[in-house]
Amino acid sequence: MRATLYFRGSLSSCNYSCPYCPFSKNTDSAETLARDRLQVRRFTAWIADQERLGHRLSVFFNPYGEGLIHRWYREAMVQLSRMPHVEKVAIQTNLSASLDWTEELNRDTAAFWTTYHPGETSEERFLARCFDLHRRGVKFSVGSVGVRSAFDRIESLRRALPEDVYLWVNAFKDRKDYYADRDIERMRDVDPLFELNLPDYDSLGRACRTGESVFFVQGAGLVKRCYSDRRVIGHLYRDGLDRLSRTRPCGMKTCGCYIGYVHMPELELESAYGDGLLERRSLPERRAFAGYGGVR
């Protein structure tokens, strides 16, 4: 089976304190961190064992917090990137950790989903980390939450980044009708695919790869079809992929988050992101694809 697994352990703390993020306000205990470490290592060992079953896997770490400041996430990224049956391993990160360890990564399979938080780090410091990754040949995308107060700094970041590095803007959806037409146009100039992220897509009963070839794994091994669907569909370590996999149309009314709607086949978002779909990376020629203006 070719499958994608999202993994989220017990970690629920971050070294940043962004006002729009609830996890920035948590401090994990030593016990919680130890549990998260064991969960990540168990998951990594399980992935390694899947080679004998013939599975081809992609892995995405999306912790509730910053993972790469912890040694066990860095170790997992290196180990997974070097497994012959792992096609991609990616992680969400604020790029605050040292990057020297990335020399050990397999550049063909490792990728970063990086996020710029203007209130938490300077543009100069963040850019230095981006150029470091670029120099090392590690694939990555750059993103930022599209709040109006950050528009100037997001635009400045776009001007400074190499053209081949995609900068995406995550639409701010906590307030209804947050963006005026001029705001949308401004962010579209930064991110040609910005309007892909604006709507909440009608999804109830519609086809989705989640639960069939895409699975959301919680630290202890419980598996959900989708990150926002609370229903548990099985246990990774007890059931395995073959028993977990079946066609499961979406049970939610709408889907408005990238890591959810990209798995809806009808949207055909591979045309916009290609093999960078997992880490939200789009090449310049794909960003210019005219068919993706305000798709519904």
At residue 290, the pLDDT reads: 44
At residue 295, the pLDDT reads: 43
DSSP 186-240: HHHHH-TTGGGSSS-EE-TT---SBTTTEEEEETTSEEESSTT---EEEEHHHHH
Residue with tokens 């001029």, as numbered in its chain: 182
At residue 115, the pLDDT reads: 94
At residue 287, the pLDDT reads: 78
At residue 265, the pLDDT reads: 97
Per the CB < 8 A criterion, the answer to whether 203 and 257 are in contact is no
Burial of residue 102 (number of CB atoms within 10 Å: 0-12, 13-18, 19+): buried
| Rg, the chain, Cα only | 18
Q: What residue spans define the domains of the chain?
A: 2-292
Architecture of domain 2-292: Alpha-Beta Barrel (3.20)
At residue 200, the pLDDT reads: 95
Per the CB < 8 A criterion, the answer to whether 76 and 44 are in contact is yes
Long-range CB contacts (< 8 A, 24+ apart) of 170-178?
170/143, 170/144, 170/145, 170/146, 170/197, 170/258, 171/146, 171/197, 171/198, 172/20, 172/145, 172/146, 172/147, 173/200, 173/256, 174/20
DSSP state of 153: H
At residue 294, the pLDDT reads: 40
For the chain, which ranges sit under pLDDT 50? 290-291, 293-296
pLDDT one-digit tens code per residue, 221-254: 999 999 889 899 999 999 999 999 999 999 999 9
H helical segments located in the chain: 30-49, 71-81, 123-136, 151-160, 181-190, 236-244, 258-261, 270-273, 284-287
